[in-house]
Amino acid sequence: MSLDPVQVMSGQVKELKVGPSSNGDSRGSWEEKEEIDQDNVGLTTKPKPPKPENAVTVAVSSRVLFRTEREQKVFEQDGVEEYLRFQIEHENEPFTPGPAFPFVKALEAVNCRLRELYPQSEELFDIVLVTYNHAHVGIRLINTINHHNLFIERFCMTGGSSPIGYLKAWQTNLYLSADADKVREALSEGIAAATMFTSEKVTEVSESQLRVAFDGDAVLFSDESERIFKAHGLDKFFEHERDNEDTLLDHGPLKGFLEALGKLQKKFYAKGQRLDCPIRTYLVTARSAASSGIRALKTLRAWGLEIDEALFLAGAPKGPMLEKIRPHIYFDDQMFHVEGAAEMGTVAAHVPYGIAQKHNAKQNISVRK
């Protein structure tokens, strides 16, 4: 199976039925004032976006939040002017959900729970829509967001320019895009990022609990151990892990995002809701538990990070395990695992980081990562 961020697939992401949220005109201000929205009942106060310094900011490309293959085809075949004309002519037609849509809905569901427990807190997920589009396309995007009842107030429409500088200004904790080059650029700037794909098969996911699954090496951790494996083989790798059992692994590109999730989890724990927490995290690694897993677990504990579930597969395929977990998103640095997960219906995102990027994933399957 070959995944392409812009290829047209037959399946569509199903919309999640979570608690409703309102959305009005897009605003770029971080003012303290309350926003008042007029609905068909009367005046109601809607939640205001948190300040970036307080929030867990997730920047999402319009091409992964929504399905835009038809529009992309117009752009590629007919050029930018025809593309803009097409978007304006169809601005009252909402885009359909894309691969990141269930993830974003789950983030909003967590926010609803947080606001119930901490009405004044700004420690929330904040979603920023990032697009290369011209501002003219913003009307269609706003119409689509309102149609799907999303609460996204922050837009970044760059008119073809790179968004990476803006991501740093937003203090972005995670960037999801269909553009692998921009994802690599974000990673090089220290921003957690991953490439998302539109898949043929999509599994239904939880409507009440955000589930995020991570690979270990070159995702949560550095690629140090993988480099040993690639250079010297499996036996040397096991020896290296035993000798360094009490030496912490260095951090990988997604460590900070797991840390941000853990910070929000602890807010639920503080209210006695550990067993009913709407955020659940998973480590899904091809490492073996007895021979190389202990170093990974000791590293997470030393970092003060909790993983709700850890699966050490000892080289077994990840797809069947992920099918049972049904995460809203799974992060892996090897396309072989991303494709395998997608074949089982998991929304998987590629983290192009580390030594594995120099090898063809299908010819270099790691039995311990």
What whole-number distance in Å separates Cα of residue 70 and Cα of residue 97?
Answer: 13
Any idea how long the chain is? 369
Please confirm, yes or no, whether 78 is among the known catalytic residues.
no
Q: Is the dihedral of CA 177, 179, 183, 185 positive or negative?
A: negative
228 with 356: CB under 8 angstroms?
Answer: no
Catalytic residue among 126, 179, 215, 223: 215
Instruction: Give the C-alpha separation, 239 to 244, whole Å.
Output: 9
| DSSP conformational letter for 293 | I
Does residue 231 contact residue 364 with C-beta atoms inside 8 Å? Answer: no
Question: Any alpha helices (H) in the chain, and if so which ranges?
Answer: 62-65, 69-78, 80-89, 101-117, 138-147, 164-169, 180-188, 224-232, 234-243, 255-269, 294-303, 319-325, 335-343
Contacts of residue 55, Cβ cutoff 8 Å, sequence gap at least 6? 49, 122, 123, 124, 125, 126, 171
| Positions marked catalytic | 215
